């Protein structure tokens, strides 16, 4: 299983999936046939995470070929990512609490066995090795993995979410953190997701049978409540001369980039990350950024955090493509506060429109998908 790093290759993958395989998605999407047979799912998530391609153009290309009724499950899955991002934007303290929680959790022997794939559960061990070696897991398998981690192995969900972020090419602060919370039973309070032996057997085509699991575990209890905070960032019509772009918003096609004298692509190394990434994930992100350089020719430059810190010694005004709640935004907020920067954020209109529907559960968001599709002429 090979993941590409350029926008043109990602678009090619998307178009081939639409032409050849998407018609099987509704009926076969939950089956994990192994790393050598992923035709039942799109495997587009690494490209959407870095926005080499975005959710909206993906939906538009799909709906150009198929009516909504035939691809509704796929469209809904695409918009889950938008929903999760919006949900976290409206409740940013969930992210900061998650990061703070990790600081107090010790990595005991039980944890170390789990991350080495040395438990007594064969399927779990195989999935650990698959995650480390291929930097991807099937979506249904991620839910099963998380459930085993939390309810059978008795490990903190926060450390599982951290483990996924370390190794996934498509690691996304919102989708990853909130999905683990959902499995644990604290995202939708009192409703957890329990892996069951029959489920694993069925959806791995009987590869794993009679898996011994805790199938009666109660949801994790977390009494913290999170009130909705209105989405507010500094935005201005006036452009600055320099633009900063983080690695999770790569194809900046939604505003006039040509006006900028310089574009700085920023990739944080592990010294400035709360969630440390594997070297393979860092290298993948570097390759994704470099693939975009040709589009901007001499204007583009890749910076690490030290390069960015040196840059702001001489200039205090920048436009920044809004990186959303997560590692990049947390770093940027510290930088703004400590250096008195004047930052003008640029967002996608589609994002801000959709995030308004993330104030409740996904059912409410899903009911608004037709409005989203029609508003932005995606169908």
What are the residue ranges of helices labelled H in the chain?
7-20, 25-28, 45-49, 55-65, 72-90, 93-102, 109-115, 122-134, 139-147, 157-167, 173-184, 197-203, 279-296, 305-314, 327-339, 349-355, 362-367, 369-375
Task: Kindly state the tokens that stand for 205.
Answer: 């085509």
Q: Please state, as a whole number, how many other Cβ atoms lie within 10 Å of the Cβ of residue 309.
A: 14
CATH of 242-346, one of 3.40.50.620, 3.40.630.10, 3.40.30.10, 1.10.10.10: 3.40.50.620
Task: Kindly state the tokens that stand for 170.
Answer: 């498509």
Q: What is the pTM of this model?
A: 0.96
Q: What is the pLDDT along the chain (379 residues), one digit of tens a residue?
A: 789 999 999 999 999 999 999 998 999 999 999 999 999 999 999 999 999 999 999 999 999 999 999 999 999 999 999 999 999 999 999 999 999 999 999 999 999 999 999 999 999 999 999 999 999 999 999 999 999 999 999 999 999 999 999 999 999 999 999 999 999 999 999 999 999 999 999 999 999 999 999 999 999 999 999 999 998 888 887 888 999 999 999 999 899 888 899 999 999 999 989 999 999 999 999 999 999 887 777 688 999 888 988 898 888 899 999 999 999 999 999 999 889 888 999 999 999 999 999 999 999 999 999 999 999 999 8
Q: Which CATH architecture has domain 92-203?
A: Orthogonal Bundle (1.10)
Angle (nearest 5°) at CA 213 between 110 and 114: 25
Residue whose C-alpha is closest to residue 236's, from 300, 315, 320, 164: 320
Domain boundary assignment for the chain: 92-203, 242-346
């Amino acid at each position: 299983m090979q993941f590409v790093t350029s926008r043109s290759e990602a678009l090619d993958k998307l178009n081939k999936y639409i032409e050849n395989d998407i018609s099987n998605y509704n009926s076969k999407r939950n089956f994990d046939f192994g790393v050598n047979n992923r035709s039942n799912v799109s495997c587009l998530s690494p490209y959407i995470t870095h926005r080499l391609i975005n959710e909206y153009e993906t939906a538009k290309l799909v709906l150009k070929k198929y009516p909504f009724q035939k691809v509704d499950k796929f469209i809904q899955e695409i918009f889950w990512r938008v929903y999760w991002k919006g949900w976290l934007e409206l409740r940013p303290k969930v992210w900061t609490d998650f990061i703070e929680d990790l600081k107090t959790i010790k990595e005991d022997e039980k944890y170390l066995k789990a991350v080495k794939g040395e438990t007594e559960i064969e399927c779990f061990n195989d999935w650990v090795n698959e995650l480390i070696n291929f930097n991807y897991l099937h979506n249904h398998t991620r839910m099963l993995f998380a459930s085993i981690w939390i309810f059978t192995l008795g490990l903190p969900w926060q450390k599982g979410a951290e483990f996924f972020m370390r190794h996934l090419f498509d690691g996304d602060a919102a989708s990853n953190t909130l999905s683990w919370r959902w499995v644990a039973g604290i995202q939708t309070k009192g409703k957890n997701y329990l892996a069951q032996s029959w489920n694993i057997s069925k959806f791995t085509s009987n590869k794993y049978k009679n898996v011994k699991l805790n199938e009666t575990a109660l949801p994790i209890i977390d009494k913290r409540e999170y009130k909705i905070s209105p989405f507010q960032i500094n935005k201005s019509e006036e452009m600055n001369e320099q633009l900063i772009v983080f690695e999770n918003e790569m194809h900046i096609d939604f505003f006039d980039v040509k006006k900028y004298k310089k574009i700085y692509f920023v990739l944080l190394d592990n010294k400035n990350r709360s969630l440390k990434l594997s070297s393979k994930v860092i290298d993948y992100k570097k390759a994704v950024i470099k693939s975009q350089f040709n589009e901007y020719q001499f204007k583009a430059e890749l910076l690490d955090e030290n390069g960015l810190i040196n840059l702001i010694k001489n200039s205090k005004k920048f436009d920044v493509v809004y990186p959303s709640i997560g590692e990049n935004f947390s770093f940027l907020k510290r930088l703004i506060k400590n250096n008195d920067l004047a930052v003008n954020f640029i967002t996608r209109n589609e994002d801000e429109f959709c995030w308004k529907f993330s104030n409740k559960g996904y059912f409410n968001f899903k009911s608004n998908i037709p409005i989203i599709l029609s508003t932005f002429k995606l169908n």
